[in-house]
Structure 1
Amino acid sequence: MKRLVAGIMTATLVAMTGAALAAPPADTLAEVKKKGVLVAGVKDSLPPFGYIDEKSRQIVGYDIDFVNAIARKLGVKVELKPVTSASRMPQLQEGNIDLIAATMTKNPERAKQIDFSHTYFFTGQKFITRKGSVKSLKDLEGKKIGTAKGSTSEQNAKKALPSSTVLSFDDYPQAFLALQQGKVAAVTTDEAILAGILAKAPNKERFEIPNVQISDEPYGIGMRKGDKAFVDFVNKTILEMEKSGEAKKIFDKWFGPHTQFHLKRNFKITADK
């Protein structure tokens, strides 16, 4: 019996020690500088924010360029970890990544759980539909709408279209495949993401993004709650990027008139109130 109790106590102590080792750092800024690597949670199938380049086989995109700029400022290397809309916050809170740069909308519910940087991208939630099928929101009432699990798009669609059925997929490309197959009447998320999906579609002439918007979507870089030194550093960095013109340069690289994702830059990075 004593041997059994001792064994249980030892196992418990090992488990507690392992848990302590796995705990996220209290000061991410100091820890990242110490280890020399910034681990970022990013999308890997969502052009032009984060996707695998066919030639280099590396993850590239708008979000990745911001991560690289932050890492350069820190003087560290970058490790990119693919995340989904549903997995990104748990990955951050468990300490598996240092920050989230993955098309993440800032909202009060999320802000209770993690901290956000100033807005570094601004867009609005719209729909991809079959060409000519939707002129107003009313045309989508009672229909099946596709989106991604764990996204704000999921919640916004349910609020805007209470009579519709919102079907949630692992990612937006899967939702778009459902639209192509006629399983949903529309795919909804932020316009910038929809533009990326549509640009890559082989049969894009059959689809469109109607001028039907249901929300504003400000993107922030996500960091652990209360990690003030790191949040301050990231905010200072992206404000400097705006001032120097680097932020606009990154936008033009991915969304400028010469790109297939052409959007107008209707925002500047400023200190959030």
Structure 2
Amino acid sequence: MKKLVTLFMVTVLASMAAKTVLAADTLADVKKKGVLVAGVKDSLPPFGYVDEKTRTIVGYDIDFINAIAKKLGVRVELKPVTSASRMPQLQESHIDIIAATMTKNPERAKQVDFSHTYFFTGQKFITKKGTVKSLKDLEGKKIGTAKGSTSEQNVKKALPTATVLSFDDYPQALLALEQGKVFAVTTDEAILAGILAKAPNKARFEIPRVQISDEPYGLGMRKGDKHFVDFVNKTILDMEKSGEAARIFNKWFGPTTQFHLQRNFKITAGK
């Protein structure tokens, strides 16, 4: 019996060690295969969406992935993910990194390792103009958001009397708002600005000054993938120092864009 227990423990430890080695090999593997596979959004401007002219996925998140790949000397392969599918895709090794508007929080940090914060925003709402002045106006209402998002969790805490309807993506939630099926749509302000800018009847809607959370975005990597995490963190810190990170922000959120926001953050170590 003791031999069986010992053999079992050795097998478990060997398995754990193998997983640790695999997790730590992403940087070397990416260099070896010559391609960085990134999970990104493909219908969420300006973070990740299909450009109508080029039919390629472009956006703020994609520019960061391109910069990391350039530093690695490899090409990029983009794989569309949803809020619900992005972590399973990473854990099952279908992608090497997540760049998909993913908020850093303690629960997710148990499953993936995050980079330093490369974007910062806050959770708000899209509503019909003039209908919401305070959080109280949203109590007891139907509110749309995306499955598997922190927005889904945050709104349930902030508005326990509301009915939260979860959709596969935010454009679907906005359609429900246009059709009167929900009273409001909630997620991060930067995402709301992106989907509202693309709405055909955007003049009917607004983003009231009602915020329920802070949302720091991180690039997600496999747990224990230290070499890769360190490389990504150094790269984005260098991008901040050189001004490249600010240039990417201005490209997508600057005053001449339809998604205009103020850059109220800097990429710093430990955040």
TM-score, length basis structure 2: 0.92
Which residue of the partner structure matches residue 126 of structure 1? 124
CA separation in 1, counterparts of 2:182 and 2:200? Answer: 18
Structure 2 Cα separation of the partners of residues 261 and 27 of structure 1: 38
> Which among 252, 256, 259 is matched to residue 257 of structure 2?
259
Query: Do 1:24 and 1:95's aligned partners in 2 also have CA atoms closer than 8 Å?
Result: no
> Corresponding residue for 2:222?
224
Q: Does 1:241 align with 2:239?
A: yes
Match of residue 203 from structure 1: 201
Equivalent residue number for residue 14 of structure 2: none
Q: Does 1:148 align with 2:112?
A: no
Matched, 1:166 2:158: no
* Distance in 2 separating the partners of 1:77 and 1:83: 19
- Which of the numbers 40, 52, 55 marks the counterpart of 1:54? 52
Percent identity of equivalent pairs = 87
Given that 2:126 and 2:192 are in contact with CA atoms closer than 8 Å, whether structure 1 keeps it comes out as yes
Q: TM-score, normalised by structure 1?
A: 0.91
Distance (whole Å) between structure 1 residues aligned to residue 41 and residue 22 of structure 2: 22
The 3-state SS of whatever aligns with 2:239 is helix
* CA distance in structure 2 between the partners assigned to 1:48 and 1:261 by the alignment: 7
What amino acid sits opposite 2:206 in the alignment? E
CA–CA distance in structure 2, aligned partners of residues 62 and 125 of structure 1? 18
Secondary structure of the corresponding residue to residue 77 of structure 2 = strand
Asked whether the 8 Å contact 2:145–2:167 carries over to 1, the reply is: yes
Aligned residue number for residue 4 of structure 1: none
Counterpart Cα distance in 1 of 2:163 and 2:220: 30
2:3 alignment partner in structure 1: none
Q: Distance in 2 between matches of 1:133 and 1:90?
A: 38
- Residue in structure 2 matching 1:85, options 83, 86, 89: 83
| Alignment length (residue pairs) | 252
Q: Look up the match of 1:139.
A: 137
1:183 is aligned to 181
Matched position secondary structure for 1:97 = coil
C-alpha distance in 1 between matches for 2:24 and 2:109? 18
Segments of structure 1 that go 5 or more residues without pairing to the other structure are 1-19
Who is 2:72 aligned against? 74
- Where structure 2 has 5 or more consecutive residues not aligned to the other structure, the ranges are 1-17
Query: 1:25 Cα shift?
Result: 5.1
